[in-house]
Structure 1
Amino acid sequence: MPSSNFSPSSIPDLAGRVYLVTGGNAGCGYETVIGLAARGAKVYMGARSKDKANAAIKEIQEKHPSANIHFLDLDLTKFSSVVAAAKKIRDEETTLHGLVNNAGIMAVPYSVTADGYEIQLQTNYLSHWLLTYHLLPLLQSSARSNPEGTVRLVNVTSDGHAAFPPSDGIHFEDIGLEKEGAMKRYGQSKLANILHTTQLNKRYGPASSEAQNEAVWFAAVHPGHISTDLTTKATGAAPGFVLRATAPVLKCLGVLEPQEKGAWSSLFSIASSDFKKANSGAYIVPYAKIGTPSKHARDESLAEKLWEWTEAELRGKGLLE
């Protein structure tokens, strides 16, 4: 994999800044929380389980006693939880300097959430779109009162966006992909993360004529092939079982990197001084390098269509009021 000279220790002092990391109690999200908190930031750890989150916070604070980390109740399989979490952040904070939409699931069996959507699509994409929607005004107001480039948003995606999605990228006619394999559903959701990022950057990024002094910087991050629960707990059809069986071997061979490296590109994109204005909207690959996503991911008309579809779906459920 390509690499750069970036390391988390090069991140500037983040004292006084506030961040939210979804799925922050394990894997790459856990390491992202550490990277931000160790530099002095206040970090909200979005997680479903309060017990697991508090255990993770305690573990981090044993190594970094001054780490300022707070549990945020966030269940991405429930839109009501997403809206409530966003409201809690808006009620408690006057500024938000960064949002890392990190949480995700992979290769799980087909199921539908109580909100009516395929579980990978909702967890990986729809709920993060909704969370971003409700926190964007706070991010924009924070951008107005901070130096340019301080406020950023990262959507964590995967190179699976290129390997596994349907042939048409986003299969709007049957977006749940019930008859398809688990990895195809995963690939579609990860492609959606990149398309979301490009639309956010177009509408609210530094190149937007409407953003002016409230521009937010954006990035879609492929963290790498990392040894985390995402691989070891994949439960769908092949290659899910293959990932579980081969993960220990791949780790020993260096194909699966340790999870702390999985946070590097997110930390680079959300807080490094080396991430520049011209990089906003980019696809970041391991580690802290600008990459080129798939043809579907570069399709502006597909990105626009997905945005309009998503907005209509969520507005129709009364979630964007």
Structure 2
Amino acid sequence: MAKWTTAEIPDQTGRVAVVTGANTGLGYETAAALAQRGAHVVLAVRNLDKGTEACNRISRAHPNARVSLQELDLTSLNSIRAAAEQLRAEHARIDLLINNAGVMYPPKSTTADGFELQFGTNHLGHFAFTGLLLERLLPVPGSRVVTVSSIGHRIRADIHFDDLQWQHRYNRVEAYGQSKLANLLFTYELQRRLAGRGTTIAVAAHPGGSNTELMRHLPRWAAIAYPAMAPLFQDAAMGALPTLRAAGDPQVRGGQYFGPGGFAQTRGYPTVVESSRKSHDAERQRRLWKVSEELTGVVYPL
């Protein structure tokens, strides 16, 4: 299928999809497309005002859409636990959990729990959120956990187990790379643990080069170079397609990774792509999983 688009998403009526960071950019486009296809979409967002505006935009564009709002701050384990508890109370089943929210290249800062902001938000926050909701996905045939990674998982990226929180030094590009590599290690290890259950799968995706709010923290050198690089980037609607294919294509298998099929995976229609050698390192996967359970206090029911 050379040009997979949202038209290929099967009817989602009766399905519940939770999308983190759904008030803008890739998350908004993902939520809107799933709602258009009939899913009850929960926009899990930190800013409720922006979330309400996003819900209204979807409802105006698709009057029959079912959308609701859930407050979620991935920089706070207390907020994550409260959000998961509320979602479990309101939904007997969850068909899709899309871990989309993220931060990229911020100045050095920490979450409410003292984690480096990118690692804490992009990986640990989603690790905890997924673990706390998994019991609502496991009984549901065809349920999926889709986690959004990045081309950045290849750029100066490793898991710095000796300094996961960048307390001794900080490089925003390397820290982002660590968090996005962690997204893939998490996906592959989760899939290994889910294998054999026959209901839930774990899949990953990346948007290529997408022009979204993530760009607001670009280092100065990158901001200067951005105008020359702009032709490599695509809009958020195209950038969301790999995530939507991972979530909606009936042919998807657990452990697959979707990204744009064009030049250097920066743009184009979604297809299965390869991730880095490090992302497939089983020892890194297991070690990161163990550390993540210890740091978050969330142990998966697997």
TM range (shorter): over 0.9
What corresponds to 2:49 in structure 1? 51
| Matches of 2:14 and 2:116, distance apart in 1 | 38
What corresponds to 2:156 in structure 1? 164
Structure 1 170/31 Cα, relative in aligned 2: closer, same or farther at 3 Å? same
What corresponds to 1:134 in structure 2? 132
What corresponds to 2:191 in structure 1? 201
What corresponds to 1:303 in structure 2? 285
What corresponds to 1:226 in structure 2? 210
Residue 191 of structure 1: CA displacement? 0.3
What corresponds to 2:83 in structure 1? 85
Does the 8 Å contact 1:269/1:288 carry over to 2?
A: no
- The secondary structure found in structure 2 opposite 1:141 is coil
| Matches of 2:126 and 2:102, distance apart in 1 | 10
Does the 8 Å contact 2:111/2:121 carry over to 1?
A: no
| Matches of 2:10 and 2:272, distance apart in 1 | 21
CA displacement, residues 36-63 of structure 1 (integer Å, 9 cap, x when unaligned): 0000100000111110111111122221
| Matches of 1:185 and 1:242, distance apart in 2 | 17
Residue 248 of structure 1: CA displacement? 4.9
Residue 274 of structure 1: CA displacement? 3.5
Residue 246 of structure 1: CA displacement? 4.3
CA displacement, residues 122-158 of structure 1 (integer Å, 9 cap, x when unaligned): 1100010000101111100223xxxxxx211101000
| Matches of 1:18 and 1:202, distance apart in 2 | 24
Within a 5 Å distance, the mapping from 1:155-304 to structure 2 comes to: 155-165=147-157, 169-178=158-167, 179-204=169-194, 208-209=195-196, 211=197, 213=198, 215-231=199-215, 233-234=216-217, 240-251=219-230, 253=231, 255-275=232-252, 279-286=253-260, 287-304=269-286
Residue 289 of structure 1: CA displacement? 1.2
* 2:66 partner amino acid: N
| Matches of 1:156 and 1:98, distance apart in 2 | 13
After superposition, the CA RMSD in angstroms is: 1.6
TM-score under structure 1 length normalisation: 0.87
Structure 1 31/246 Cα, relative in aligned 2: closer, same or farther at 3 Å? farther
Count of paired positions: 291
Does the 8 Å contact 2:185/2:279 carry over to 1?
A: yes
Q: RCO higher in 1 or 2 (8 Å CA, sep ≥ 6)?
A: 1
| Matches of 1:36 and 1:242, distance apart in 2 | 37
| Matches of 2:13 and 2:146, distance apart in 1 | 20
- The secondary structure found in structure 2 opposite 1:220 is strand
| Matches of 2:277 and 2:133, distance apart in 1 | 30
Does the 8 Å contact 1:47/1:71 carry over to 2?
A: yes
What corresponds to 2:264 in structure 1? none
Residue 249 of structure 1: CA displacement? 4.8
TM-score under structure 2 length normalisation: 0.92
* % identity of equivalent residues: 35
- The secondary structure found in structure 2 opposite 1:155 is strand
After superposing on structure 2, the runs of 4+ consecutive aligned residues of structure 1 that deviate more than 3 Å are 242-251
| Matches of 2:181 and 2:171, distance apart in 1 | 16
Structure 2 unaligned residues grouped into runs of 5+: 261-268
* 2:214 partner amino acid: L
Q: Which moved more, 1:21-30 or 1:110-119?
A: 110-119
* 1:302 partner amino acid: R
Structure 1 unaligned residues grouped into runs of 5+: 144-149
